[in-house]
Structure 1
Amino acid sequence: MARQSRGALLPQVPGGHPRRADVYLALRNSVLRGLLAPGERMPSTRKAAADYGVSRGLLEEVYSQLVEEGLLERILGRGTFIAGHIAKSADLARVGKAPGRALSISARGIALAGNLTCRVPHDFKPFNSGVADTAEFPWKIWQRIQARTAREVRRADMNFTDPRGLPALRSSLAHHLAQLRGVRCTAEQVIVFNSVQQALYLLALLLTNPGDAVWMEDPGYPGARAALELAGAAIAPIPVDREGLQIEVGLRHAPDARLAYVTPSHQFPTGVALSMERRIALLDWAEKHDAWILEDDFDGEFGYVGQPATPLHSLDRHDRVLYLGTLSKSMFVSLRLAFAVVPEAMVEQLANIRTQLDAFSAPLTQLAMSRFMDEGHFSTHVRHMRGVYAEKCAFLRESLAPLADCGWTWEKNTVGVQLMLHHSDAEEVHRTAKASGLALHMLNAYRYKPANDDGLLLRFGGLSVTAIRSGVERLISAADHQTIV
């Protein structure tokens, strides 16, 4: 192949004094991308060294390495050239990779990857914000505690830590649960996770065989359903009415289920509470069938009328209820700390399974959280946020009053940070949601089996009163327009 007479213009290297690695990578990448063409003559090492402001010896080393890699060719008496045999590679690099076959993904992987129900928005607006109101969080106190914890950290805290959770946080959680939720347990019964979904997944792995039936509220929390299905459970959807989970339906269709997942204090997403009669029936079923009840008390601390509802765990006399909770709802969503209260013998088993996944939660965050609780800041914050969310919820309910004339209904004694609007005409719900232009979630999206009626889930926890007002005005305008049409 005829050699080109013109000399190559060398690529620039950032910085005033490039290192050997910088020069090498700049030349290598330029060759592979076709910026230095096959057959093109390279400047001498003396000229190249002067261009880059480095020693000639450094350029000799770089050229020699590129020759060894087959990217450059040296011809005695003529000079150094870009190797001609890499023309095809350079062409491919210049135009992009050649089209390949479709990714070889399993049928299970395709199904799981296609489930977008657990993806959450990064831009909170009416009404997609079911997270904590961070504007009310005591950031300065939290930052001081974090700084103090970081200063006092030991070398041991920087290694692998207890997969059950740090003893300090487990003790703090046991005290908190007894004081604020009436859940009596020892620190040895508490295990710390990164999320409730992780806890559900590990519990399902421990307590079920693939294909075992699990009662799941319908409608219900998509994250719980996803975690249970990931573990290989067979979902048995049990409908929910104004008294919560319909136990009699579960007894007819899947009496031998191994687990029942429930949100008894505040059913997600409908907002109803499980009646005492059904609580007793559920406990009776679990005891007679050697089954387990997974109680997700995701926002049980935020009751607005009197004291929060009593957890199902407090009524259990046979150790069939496994109590799950999260600190991310009370604190802030990126905290990533959750917990479970289980029989003490189960803690070690869960910890062993966990070590096969992510091993443990961040120790510095656990230590800071423990101190935040022990110094009384957490209980103070929770009590304050009860008032904040109560005001938001009352404002939301009052603002929605005009919708009652358009056939919409909602729970009057709402707890938590979301409110479900119902309408008997599913088409009316869809038209109103579309016309409003708001970020709304349909009730049927949370159902295993779609129904003729539908609703809208208004999640307001992280929204300001101004944002709530704006959202309600748009919702009412859309509903009024649909009624006129």
Structure 2
Amino acid sequence: MPRSSRGVLLPPVAGNRPRRADVYLALRDAVLQGTLAAGEHMPSSRKAATDYGVSRGLMEEVYSQLVEEGLLERVIGRGTFIAQRATKRTDPARHEEAVQHVSSVSTRGRKLAGNLACRIMREFKPFNAGVADTTAFPWQIWQRIQARAVRDLRRADMNFTDARGVPALRRSLAHHLAQLRGIRCVPDQVIIFNSIQQATYLLALLLTNPGDAAWVEDPGYPGARAALELAETTVVPVPVDQHGLQVEEGLRRASHARLACVTPSHQFPSGFTMSMQRRIALLEWAQKHDAWILEDDYDGEFGHARQPATPLHALDRHARVLYLGTLSKSMFVSLRLAFAVVPEAMVEQLANIRTQLDAFSAPLIQLAMSRFMDEGHFSTHVRHMRNVYAEKAAILTEGLRPLADHGWTWEEGTAGVQILLRHPDAHEVQRTAEASGLALHLLSSYRHEPADGDGLLLRFGGLGMPAIRAGVEQLVAAALAVHR
């Protein structure tokens, strides 16, 4: 049955005075290739003739031939439609040409395209769901706020928006950070991004020259490493232990580094909190060597059963720490809102670079987020989700207890939406568990350099309680089967 009551836009035809064959081939190819899809409503022959600058008689001939070939259908009183049986076909020659083009991409392009570490899984299952739980999200409140934001969106905001971010959201974030994270800043120090990874990339472009060294935690977040590599820095992996980044080892490997990317409040993926001694050593290194620290506080709001760890930024007395945070982790993944707190003079520079990439983040979602925060809904949601994630972590760790007798270790769930489970047999257990439907990532997949010991990263944030219980039962059964 026809699905559309409006005429589609017709494909172009080369030349100012197209011939009948030109028009026919353009329409035929568009139908066969799926550009004009089954059920779409074609414009009348009169309108089509006007679009192409040809006679109506010529268009009638073309339409009639396509009807005879089964590519178009005419419905009395309704018009002409793409036939339901018209199917998309592939031209073998064009397919072969496309394959050749793909094989001729650059070495750098193949390397970057082969990095799948930053892809978000489309299907969540135990334990690949390190995202926000949206089942308890106040959708009705959010929808009302969005509707109000649409009504209040100014005409100017529908054209271009400040690359630094909507002023209202920058004010809301400065207030939020002071209350929940103890970070003192003014709105002019806040700049909005789509993600922490984007912020890392732009900061690396601003602060480093190609080839400059940048410390990254090892193991660590693949997105930070990818962003630095895109910016053509020399990535220097620095080992992490239970006290955080080993600053002394970083000094030995590259004391002259321009950047250090760290997750001090809740190291990813180990879950450790950087010790005060290491924090002071890192700050002293940055001051002494005129270097910068990118503090990724990706899940700073979610400390379980306690206040979250104090950000490194709050200890900084020399403005060497650039604080990065995300709202997508607290709200929902597709929100695509993150931010950075930097020295005021740096904001304008970052905005100028931003305009050379994607210009700005969508103003409508920024306005809605600002109101969601100002009216207290965000803080209420964060408090509630702290309890939800703490309960999930408790269910998970309790289910893991039988593995303690077999040498498995883990940090009790102190924060965030993932737990790292350690054991030398992790790789074998992963293979066994995946056969039963689990999705597990090895600790070694987050390493830059090989190291002793391995583990399994259990990401549970987006899973429901029943899925966590069932998943941990399967995991324990798989592990015990390996140990027999």
TM-score by length of 2: 0.83
Aligned partners of 2:429 and 2:482 also within 8 Å: no
Selected match of 2:94 from 88, 92, 97: 97
- 2:45 maps to 1:28: no
- Per-residue displacement from partner, 1:418-446 (whole Å, max 9, x unpaired)? 00000134554444444543111110000
Structure 1 equivalent of residue 298 of structure 2: 298
CA RMSD of superposed structures (Å): 2.9
Q: How does 1:434-473 map to 2 (within 5 A)?
A: 434-473=434-473
Residue identity matched to 1:378: F
Shift of 1:96: 5.0
Q: Which amino acid aligns with 2:244?
A: G
Q: Is the 8 A contact 1:33 1:93 kept in 2?
A: no
CA separation of 1:94/1:211 partners in 2, compared to 1, >3 Å: closer, same or farther? closer
Distance 1:19 1:347, change over 3 A: closer
Q: Please state how far the C-alpha of 1:27 moved relative to its aligned partner.
A: 3.5
- Change in CA separation of 1:221 and 1:21 when aligned onto 2, cut-off 3 Å: closer
Contact 2:305 2:414 in 1 (8 A): no
Deviations 1:89-118 (A, max 9, x none): xxx987653733343211111110111111
Matched residue, 1:110: 110
Q: Distance in 2 between matches of 1:465 and 1:424?
A: 28
Larger radius of gyration: 1
Deviations 1:275-302 (A, max 9, x none): 0000000000000000000000000110
Q: 1:429 touches 1:454 (CA, 8 Å); kept in 2?
A: no
Cα–Cα, structure 1 residues 93 and 454, in superposed 2: closer, same or farther, change >3 Å?
Answer: closer
> In 1, distance between residues paired with 2:329 and 2:179?
18
Deviation at 1:17, TM superposition (A): 11
Find the counterpart in structure 2 of residue 235 from structure 1.
235
Instruction: Say if 2:393 and 2:413, in contact at 8 Å, map to a contact too.
Output: no
Q: CA deviation at 1:452?
A: 3.0
Distance (Å, rounded) in 1 between the aligned partners of 2:451 and 2:386: 33
Letter in structure 2 aligned against 1:58: R
Measured against aligned partners, the alpha-carbon deviations of 1:347-371 in whole angstroms (never above 9, x if no partner) come to 0000000000000000000000000
Contact 2:305 2:387 in 1 (8 A): no
Q: Deviations over 1:211-236 (max 9, x none)?
A: 11100000000011101110001110
Deviation (angstroms), 1:28: 2.8
Matched, 1:60 2:79: no
Q: Is the 8 A contact 2:426 2:456 kept in 1?
A: no
CA contact (8 A) 1:145 1:372 kept: yes
Structure 1 counterpart of 2:361: 361
Residue 248 of structure 1 aligns with which residue? Answer: 248
Summarize the Cα distance change of 1:57–1:29 in structure 2 as closer, same or farther, 3 Å threshold. Answer: closer
How far the C-alpha of 1:18 sits from its partner, in A, is 8.2
Partner of 2:267: 267
Kindly indicate whether the alpha-carbon contact (under 8 Å) linking 2:216 and 2:225 is maintained by their aligned counterparts in 1: yes
User: What 5-or-longer segments of structure 2 have no aligned partner?
Assistant: 12-19, 33-44, 47-53, 65-88
- Name the stretch that deviates more: 174-183 or 57-66: 57-66
Q: 1:29 to 1:433 in 2, by over 3 A?
A: same
Q: Which amino acid aligns with 1:329?
A: K
Q: Is the 8 A contact 2:220 2:269 kept in 1?
A: yes
- Counterparts in 2 of 1:95-174, with a 5 A limit? 97=94, 99-100=96-97, 101-103=100-102, 104-174=104-174
Give percent identity, aligned residues only: 67
| Structure 2 CA distance for partners of 1:25 and 1:118, relative to 1, 3 Å | farther
> Could you tell me whether the CA contact under 8 Å between 1:436 and 1:477 is conserved in 2?
no
Go from structure 1 to structure 2 and tell me whether the alpha carbon gap of 1:25 and 1:18 turns closer, same or farther (over 3 Å shift): farther
User: For the structure 1 residues 480 and 168, does the alpha-carbon distance in structure 2 shift closer, same or farther, using more than 3 Å as the test?
Assistant: same
Q: 1:403 to 1:148 in 2, by over 3 A?
A: same
> 1:34, 1:93 within 8 Å by CA — same for their partners in 2?
no
Distance 1:16 1:135 in 2: 37
Letter in 2 for 1:28: L
- Which residue is equivalent to 2:283? 283
- Alpha-carbon distance between aligned partners in 2 of 1:299 and 1:16, rounded to the nearest angstrom: 48
Residue equivalent to 2:42: none
Offset of 1:397 from its aligned partner?
0.7
Residues 402 and 364 of structure 1, relative CA distance in 2, 3 Å threshold: same
Question: Cα offset for 1:153?
Answer: 1.6
Distance in 2, matches of 1:348 and 1:31, equals 51
Residue 450 (structure 1) shift: 2.2
- Cα distance in structure 2, aligned partners of 1:243 and 1:290: 24
- Counterparts in 2 of 1:21 and 1:368: CA distance versus 1, 3 Å: closer
Quickly say closer, same or farther: Cα 1:208–1:433, change in 2 above 3 A. farther
Residues 18 and 478 from structure 1, CA distance in 2 versus in 1: closer, same or farther, beyond 3 angstroms?
Answer: closer
User: Which SS does the other structure have where 1:172 is aligned?
Assistant: helix
Contact 1:327 1:337 in 2 (8 A): yes
Q: Partner of 1:6 in structure 2?
A: none
Structure 1 range deviating more: 443-452 or 99-108: 99-108
Q: 3-state DSSP class of the match of 1:439?
A: coil
TM (norm. structure 1) is 0.83
Q: CA deviation at 1:453?
A: 1.2
Cα deviation for residue 304 of structure 1 reads 1.2
Per-residue Cα deviation, 1:324-377 (whole angstroms, up to 9, x for no partner): 000000000100000000000000000000000000000000000000000011
Kindly state the Cα deviation for residue 64 of structure 1 after the two structures are TM-superposed. Answer: 9.6
Q: Deviations over 1:295-317 (max 9, x none)?
A: 00000110113211000000000
Q: 1:306 to 1:16 in 2, by over 3 A?
A: closer
Q: Within 2, Cα distance between the matches of 1:17 and 1:135?
A: 38
Q: How does 1:372-451 map to 2 (within 5 A)?
A: 372-451=372-451
Deviation at 1:388, TM superposition (A): 0.6
CA, structure 1 residues 386+25, in 2 after alignment: closer, same or farther (shift >3 Å)?
A: farther
Aligned equivalent of 1:308: 308
Distance 1:411 1:17 in 2: 60
